[in-house]
C-alpha cells in the first residue's frame, strides 16, 4: 500500500570537512541496494560509508522512512549521532538518541516523531519485545560492531524482526573484525540476513585504501621471568598438578599421564564444571561429584594464579592472595577457597611475597613493566607530544601500573576502566568521567592512557602514536580493535609485550594465526558460501522475548515458492501473455515508485531474480517495460470517484493498467465485509472495463510482477 504522504524530502551531504574517498563511494553504492557487511580496518571511515548509504536510501525509499543506527555502547552511539548530524543535511529535530535512560513510555512518542534514530541494541530489543512500535517504516538498520551479532545478543533478534516487518528494508553491518573462521563469518552473515557474496572487505594492503593509511610498525618483545617468579610458578604448578591428577584418576578428565597442566587448559576445566553441574541436576549416581566440583574450582583458581605470575607480576599475585585469605574467613566462603587458603605450600608463597614487599619490593614487579617504562620514556623523549595507549587485562594491574608510572618523569598517566565499581579502592568511571578523561588525553593533560578492554572498541580515543599490549589476547577481534587505535592519520607503532616460554607466547601465536585465517576466509567467498549453506541457524525458545522466529533460507539457496492458493487465476495470465508481444529489454525492466511501501519486498525480490529496475519519484506505483502500469489502493480509504478519475488519466500513458486492492491488513467491522468489498471492486472493474486484482499477502504482488516479466521473454 502506498504511503499517503507525498512530501518530497531533500537529502544531501554537508561536505564541509568531509573527505569522501573513492572506495567509500563504491562500497556505499553497493550497500544501498542490498543487505551487506563492510569489513574495514579501524580508521578507514566505516561511519562515513553509513552516512553515504543513508543518503541514498532516503532518496530512493518512501518519504519520512526511518533510519536506525545501532551500537553496543552509549559513548559510541553519541559519536555516530555527532557524525550524522555534521555531515547529513537533515533538520536536527529529526534526530534522536534512545537508550535505557529514557523511560519506555516516553520512547514510543519519540520513535514515532523522529526519522534518524540512534539506539543501544538492548533498548530497541526491549521495545520490540513489548510491542511498543514496529519497524515497518524503517528503511535501513545499521549494525555497528556487527561481530556482536551472535548467540542471544540483541542484534540477532532485531535483524529477524526487521526482515519480518519490512522485506524491502536494507541491513548494513559494519566491523573491523568479523571473526577468524569460515563458520563464524557465515553465522554472522546469517544472523544479519546478509548473503556472503555481499561482504565488502578491505585490508591495509589493498591499493584503494593504502593511500589513506599511515605506516604501522608492529614489534613483539619477549621477556624472561625472574628466578623468583619461576620458583613460585613451579610451586603453584605442583599444587595444580595434584588437582588435575585427582580429576583424571576419577575419569572426569580424559587426559592421562604426567605433566597434565601442559595438556589441560582453563577452557577444559570450565567445560568440566558445566558437565558436573548437569550431573548434579540429573537423577543418576552423584558419588564423587561434589568433591570433583570443589577440586575443579581449586584448579581454576590455581590456573588464575599462574596467569598472574606470567602476565601481571608477583605484586598482583600478592593482592590476589590477600583477597583469597580475606574471602576464606567469610561465613559464606566456598570449600575450594578455604582449602587453598590453608594449603601450606601456598602459605609459604604468601610469606615469601610479604617479605619481599618489606625488603625488596622491586622483585615483585613483572620484568615487562621495566620494558614498558623504557619504551614510553624513549617515545616521549623523541616526541614530547606523543599520545600513548597501554592495554592491560586486569583492573588491579591498571591501578598498579598507573601508580608506578606517576613517579617517572615526563610520563603523565591516567587510569581508564569501565563503569562498574569493584571495591572501595577500585571504583568505576561513569560515562561522564570517561569522556572527560578522553578529552584531557586529547588535550595533553595526560599523555599515557592505561586502559582495560573498555578502550578497545568504539570510544572516541584520540589518535595514538604508540599502542602497547601489556598482555596478550587470543581473540583476533580484540587484537584488531587494539592495534586499530594507531596509524589512522599519522605514523604509528604497536608494541606487544609477552613472557617467553609461557602461555603468553602461545596466545600471541594463536591471535596472529586467527588474524591471518580471517583475511584468507574473507577473500574466498566461494568457501564462505559453502559454509553458509551448511550452517543452520539455531532457534532458541527465549522465555523473555516470547517472539516467533521463522527459519528462513536465502533466496539464492532456495527460491521462494508462492503457495498455490495465492496464485491469480489462469485466465488473467493469458490476457497478460497476449498483451506482451513486444518489449524493450534494453531499458530497465521495472520502475518502482519511491512512495511504494517496503512491506511488499519488491526491491529485494527483483534483485535476487536479476531483474533490472529503477526507483523513481512518481505517483505511478509500478511500471513494467513502459507499457504495463500497476496501481495499488487501500480498499478502506480509496474513493470510487478517485479510482475512475485516475484510471482515465493513467490509461493515456499505459497500454495495460492493473488495479490492485491491498487486503493484507484488512480488518472486518462486520462479518463478511471483506468478501463483499472484494466483489464490489470486481464488479466495478467489469463495468468500466479495467483489470482488478485483490491480494491477501505480499507474495501475490511480486508473483504478478514476476509473471509479467517472465512472460515477456517468450516474445
Cα separation, 263 vs 258, whole angstroms: 9
In tens, the pLDDT along 604-625 reads 889 888 888 888 888 889 999 8
DSSP string over 113-175: H-SEEEE-HHHHHHHHHTTS--STTEEEEEEETGGG-STT-HHHHHHHHHHHH-TT-EEEEEE
CA distances (Å), origin 17, targets 2, 48, 200, 438: 38, 12, 25, 22
pLDDT at 504 (0 to 100): 81
- Strand 36-39 to 66-70 pairing: unpaired
Indicate the pLDDT class of residue 41, thresholds 50, 70 and 90.
Answer: confident
Residue 40 CB-density burial (10 A; 0-12 exposed, 13-18 middle, 19+ buried) = buried
> Which of 601, 651, 662, 597 minimizes the C-alpha distance to 627?
651
For residues 162 and 141, the answer to whether their CB atoms sit within 8 Å is yes
Residues 188 and 136 in one domain: yes
Within a domain: 643 = yes
* Full strand arrangement of the beta sheet holding 492-499: 216-223, 492-499, 466-469, 388-391, 448-451, 413-416
pLDDT at 110 (0 to 100): 95
| Secondary structure letter of residue 627 according to DSSP | T
Cα separation, 606 vs 608, whole angstroms: 5
Identify the residue with better confidence: 469 or 455.
Answer: 469
Residues 354 and 387 in one domain: no
For residues 72 and 119, the answer to whether their CB atoms sit within 8 Å is no
pLDDT at 96 (0 to 100): 96
For residues 309 and 240, the answer to whether their CB atoms sit within 8 Å is no
- Assign 422 to helix, strand or coil: coil
pLDDT at 525 (0 to 100): 55
> Bridge partners of 273?
none
Q: pTM for this structure?
A: 0.70
pLDDT at 437 exceeding the cut of 50:
yes
Residues 117 and 156 in one domain: yes
Cα separation, 599 vs 596, whole angstroms: 9
Within a domain: 13 = no
Backbone φ, ψ for residue 517 (5° rounding): -65, -35
pLDDT at 519 (0 to 100): 67
> Which of 496, 413, 417, 415 minimizes the C-alpha distance to 454?
417
Within a domain: 455 = yes
- Assign 281 to helix, strand or coil: helix
pLDDT at 592 (0 to 100): 92
* Full strand arrangement of the beta sheet holding 66-70: 95-98, 116-119, 66-70, 138-144, 170-175, 36-39, 199-201
Residues 250 and 232 in one domain: yes
pLDDT at 197 exceeding the cut of 80:
yes
For residues 606 and 709, the answer to whether their CB atoms sit within 8 Å is no
3-state secondary structure 75-87: HHHHHHHHHHHHH
CATH number at residue 334: 1.20.1320.20
Q: What percent of the chain has pLDDT over 90?
A: 42
Within a domain: 638 = yes
Residues 146 and 98 in one domain: yes
Residues 407 and 323 in one domain: no
Task: Select from 210, 243, 271 the last residue of a domain.
Answer: 210
> Bridge partners of 658?
630, 691
Residues 357 and 388 in one domain: no
Number of helices (H) and strands (E) in the chain: give both, helices first.
25, 19
Cα separation, 63 vs 6, whole angstroms: 7
Residue where the block lists cell 541436576: 281
pLDDT at 551 exceeding the cut of 50:
no
CATH number at residue 651: 3.40.50.10130
Residues 439 and 452 in one domain: yes
In tens, the pLDDT along 334-352 reads 999 999 999 999 999 999 9
Query: CA neighbours within 13 Å on the CB side: how many for 218?
Result: 10
Backbone φ, ψ for residue 3 (5° rounding): -65, 140
Question: Grid coordinates representing 478?
Answer: 580484540
Indicate the pLDDT class of residue 501, thresholds 50, 70 and 90.
Answer: confident
Cα separation, 177 vs 180, whole angstroms: 8
Within a domain: 535 = no
Question: Grid coordinates representing 393?
Answer: 587485562
Using left for φ > 0, alpha for ψ between -120 and 50, and beta otherwise, residue 147 falls in alpha
> Which of 602, 654, 606 minimizes the C-alpha distance to 626?
654
pLDDT at 239 (0 to 100): 95
Within a domain: 12 = no
Q: What percent of the chain has pLDDT over 70?
A: 84
pLDDT at 7 exceeding the cut of 70:
no
Report the run of H or E that residue 694 belongs to, with start and end.
Answer: strand 691-695
Within a domain: 657 = yes
pLDDT at 179 exceeding the cut of 80:
no
In tens, the pLDDT along 248-268 reads 988 888 888 888 888 888 888
> Which of 55, 44, 47, 54 minimizes the C-alpha distance to 22?
44
Cα separation, 43 vs 487, whole angstroms: 8
Report the run of H or E that residue 498 belongs to, with start and end.
Answer: strand 492-499
Task: Select from 364, 393, 422 the last residue of a domain.
Answer: 364
Cα separation, 273 vs 290, whole angstroms: 11
Residue 340 CB-density burial (10 A; 0-12 exposed, 13-18 middle, 19+ buried) = buried
For residues 115 and 64, the answer to whether their CB atoms sit within 8 Å is yes
pLDDT at 647 (0 to 100): 81
For residues 193 and 35, the answer to whether their CB atoms sit within 8 Å is yes
Cα separation, 529 vs 232, whole angstroms: 50
pLDDT at 576 exceeding the cut of 80:
no
> Which of 185, 155, 67, 288 minimizes the C-alpha distance to 529?
185
pLDDT at 558 exceeding the cut of 60:
no
Using left for φ > 0, alpha for ψ between -120 and 50, and beta otherwise, residue 251 falls in left
CA distances (Å), origin 436, targets 155, 385, 427, 430: 29, 19, 16, 10
pLDDT at 617 (0 to 100): 86
Within a domain: 10 = no
Task: Select from 462, 485, 501 the last residue of a domain.
Answer: 501
In tens, the pLDDT along 358-374 reads 889 999 999 999 999 99
**Residue range 405-416: average pLDDT?**
94
**Residue range 71-88: average pLDDT?**
89
pLDDT at 539 exceeding the cut of 50:
no
Total structural domains in the chain? 4
> Which of 307, 299, 231 minimizes the C-alpha distance to 270?
299
pLDDT at 211 (0 to 100): 77
Residues 186 and 256 in one domain: no
> Which of 150, 18, 124 minimizes the C-alpha distance to 71?
124
Residues 360 and 371 in one domain: no
Cα separation, 180 vs 571, whole angstroms: 55
- Strand 656-662 to 628-633 pairing: parallel
Residue where the block lists cell 603468553: 504
Question: Grid coordinates representing 382?
Answer: 623523541
Residues 605 and 654 in one domain: yes
- Assign 600 to helix, strand or coil: helix
> Which of 448, 443, 399, 456 minimizes the C-alpha distance to 423?
399
Question: Grid coordinates representing 625?
Answer: 517495460
Lowest-pLDDT choice from 165-179, 235-249, 372-386, 509-523: 509-523
In tens, the pLDDT along 122-164 reads 999 999 999 999 999 999 999 999 998 988 899 999 999 999 8
For residues 176 and 480, the answer to whether their CB atoms sit within 8 Å is yes
pLDDT at 418 (0 to 100): 84
**Residue range 631-654: average pLDDT?**
84
Residues 239 and 159 in one domain: no
Backbone φ, ψ for residue 390 (5° rounding): -115, 120
Tell me the pLDDT of the chain averaged across its residues.
83
> What residues contact residue 491 under an 8 Å CB cut-off, 6+ apart?
214, 215, 216, 465
- Assign 63 to helix, strand or coil: coil
User: In terms of residue numbers, what domain contains 475?
Assistant: 367-501
pLDDT at 538 exceeding the cut of 50:
no
Indicate the pLDDT class of residue 543, thresholds 50, 70 and 90.
Answer: very low
> For the chain, how long is the longest CA-to-CA vector?
106
CATH number at residue 121: 3.40.50.300
pLDDT at 434 exceeding the cut of 70:
yes
- Assign 503 to helix, strand or coil: helix
Residue 84 CB-density burial (10 A; 0-12 exposed, 13-18 middle, 19+ buried) = buried
Amino acid at each position: 500500500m502506498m504511503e499517503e504522504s507525498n512530501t518530497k524530502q531533500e537529502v544531501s551531504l554537508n561536505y564541509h570537512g568531509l573527505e569522501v574517498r573513492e572506495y567509500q563511494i563504491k562500497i556505499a553504492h553497493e550497500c544501498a541496494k542490498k543487505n551487506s557487511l563492510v569489513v574495514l580496518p579501524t580508521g578507514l571511515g566505516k561511519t562515513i560509508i553509513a552516512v553515504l548509504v543513508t543518503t541514498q536510501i532516503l532518496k530512493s525509499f518512501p518519504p519520512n522512512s526511518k533510519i536506525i543506527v545501532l551500537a553496543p555502547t552509549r559513548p559510541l552511539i553519541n559519536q555516530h549521532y555527532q557524525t550524522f548530524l555534521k555531515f547529513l543535511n537533515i533538520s536536527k529535530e529529526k534526530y534522536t538518541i534512545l537508550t535505557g535512560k529514557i523511560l519506555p513510555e516516553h520512547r514510543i512518542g519519540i520513535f514515532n516523531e523522529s526519522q534518524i534514530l540512534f539506539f543501544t541494541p538492548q533498548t530497541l530489543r526491549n521495545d520490540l519485545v513489548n510491542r511498543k512500535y514496529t519497524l515497518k517504516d524503517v528503511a535501513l538498520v545499521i549494525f555497528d560492531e556487527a561481530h556482536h551479532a551472535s548467540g542471544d545478543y540483541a542484534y540477532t533478534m532485531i535483524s529477524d524482526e526487521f526482515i519480518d516487518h519490512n522485506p524491502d528494508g536494507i541491513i548494513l553491518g559494519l566491523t573491523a573484525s568479523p571473526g577468524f573462521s569460515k563458520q563464524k563469518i557465515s553465522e554472522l552473515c546469517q544472523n544479519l540476513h546478509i548473503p556472503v557474496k555481499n561482504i565488502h572487505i578491505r585490508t591495509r594492503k589493498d591499493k584503494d585504501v593504502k593511500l589513506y593509511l599511515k605506516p604501522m610498525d608492529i614489534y613483539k618483545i619477549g621477556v624472561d621471568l625472574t628466578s623468583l617468579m619461576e620458583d613460585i610458578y613451579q610451586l603453584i604448578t605442583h599444587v595444580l598438578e595434584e588437582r588435575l591428577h585427582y580429576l583424571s584418576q576419577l575419569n572426569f578428565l580424559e587426559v592421562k599421564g604426567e605433566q597434565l597442566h601442559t595438556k589441560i587448559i582453563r577452557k577444559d576445566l570450565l567445560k568440566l564444571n558445566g558437565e558436573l553441574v548437569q550431573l548434579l541436576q540429573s537423577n543418576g549416581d552423584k558419588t564423587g561429584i561434589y568433591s570433583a566440583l570443589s577440586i575443579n574450582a581449586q584448579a581454576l583458581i590455581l590456573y588464575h594464579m599462574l596467569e598472574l605470575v606470567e602476565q601481571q607480576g608477583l605484586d598482583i599475585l600478592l593482592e590476589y592472595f590477600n583477597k583469597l585469605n580475606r574471602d576464606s574467613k567469610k561465613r559464606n566462603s566456598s570449600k575450594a577457597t578455604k582449602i587453598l587458603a590453608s594449603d601450606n605450600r601456598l602459605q609459604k608463597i604468601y610469606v615469601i611475597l610479604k617479605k619481599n614487599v618489606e625488603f625488596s619490593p622491586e622483585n615483585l614487579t613483572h620484568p615487562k613493566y621495566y620494558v614498558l617504562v623504557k619504551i614510553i620514556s624513549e617515545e616521549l623523549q623523541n616526541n614530547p607530544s606523543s599520545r600513548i595507549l597501554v592495554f592491560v587485562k586486569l583492573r588491579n594491574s591498571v591501578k598498579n601500573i598507573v601508580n608506578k608510572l606517576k613517579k617517572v618523569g615526563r610520563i603523565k598517566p591516567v587510569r581508564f576502566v569501565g563503569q562498574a565499581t569493584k571495591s572501595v579502592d577500585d571504583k568505576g568511571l561513569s560515562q561522564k568521567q570517561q569522556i572527560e578523561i578522553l578529552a584531557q588525553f586529547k588535550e595533553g593533560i595526560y599523555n599515557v592512557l592505561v586502559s582495560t578492554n573498555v578502550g578497545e572498541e568504539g570510544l572516541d580515543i584520540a589518535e595514538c602514536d604508540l599502542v602497547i599490549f601489556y598482555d596478550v589476547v587470543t581473540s583476533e577481534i580484540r587484537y584488531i580493535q587494539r592495534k586499530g587505535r594507531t596509524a589512522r592519520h599519522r605514523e604509528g607503532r604497536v608494541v606487544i609485550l609477552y613472557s617467553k616460554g609461557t602461555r603468553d607466547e602461545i596466545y600471541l601465536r594463536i591471535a596472529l594465526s586467527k588474524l591471518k585465517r580471517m583475511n584468507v576466509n574473507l577473500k574466498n567467498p566461494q568457501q564462505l558460501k559453502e559454509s553458509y549453506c551448511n550452517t543452520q541457524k539455531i532457534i532458541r525458545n527465549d522465555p523473555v522475548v516470547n517472539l516467533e522466529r521463522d527459519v528462513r533460507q536465502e533466496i539464492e539457496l532456495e527460491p521462494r515458492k508462492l503457495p498455490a492458493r495465492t496464485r491469480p487465476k489462469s485466465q488473467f495470465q493469458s490476457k497478460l501473455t497476449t498483451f506482451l508481444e513486444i518489449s524493450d529489454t534494453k531499458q530497465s525492466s521495472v520502475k518502482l515508485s519511491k512512495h511504494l511501501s517496503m512491506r511488499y519486498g519488491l526491491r529485494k525480490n527483483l534483485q535476487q531474480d536479476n531483474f533490472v529496475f529503477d526507483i523513481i519519484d512518481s505517483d505511478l506505483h509500478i511500471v513494467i517495460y513502459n507499457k504495463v502500469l500497476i496501481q495499488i489502493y487501500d480498499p478502506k480509504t480509496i474513493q470510487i470517484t478517485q479510482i475512475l478519475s485516475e484510471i482515465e488519466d493513467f490509461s493515456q500513458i499505459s497500454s495495460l493498467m492493473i488495479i490492485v486492492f491491498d487486503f493484507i491488513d484488512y480488518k472486518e467491522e462486520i462479518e463478511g465485509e471483506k468478501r463483499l468489498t472484494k466483489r464490489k471492486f470486481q464488479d466495478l472493474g467489469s463495468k468500466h472495463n479495467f483489470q482488478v486484482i485483490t491480494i491477501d499477502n505480499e507474495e501475490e504482488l511480486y508473483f504478478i510482477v514476476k509473471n509479467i516479466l517472465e512472460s515477456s521473454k517468450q516474445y
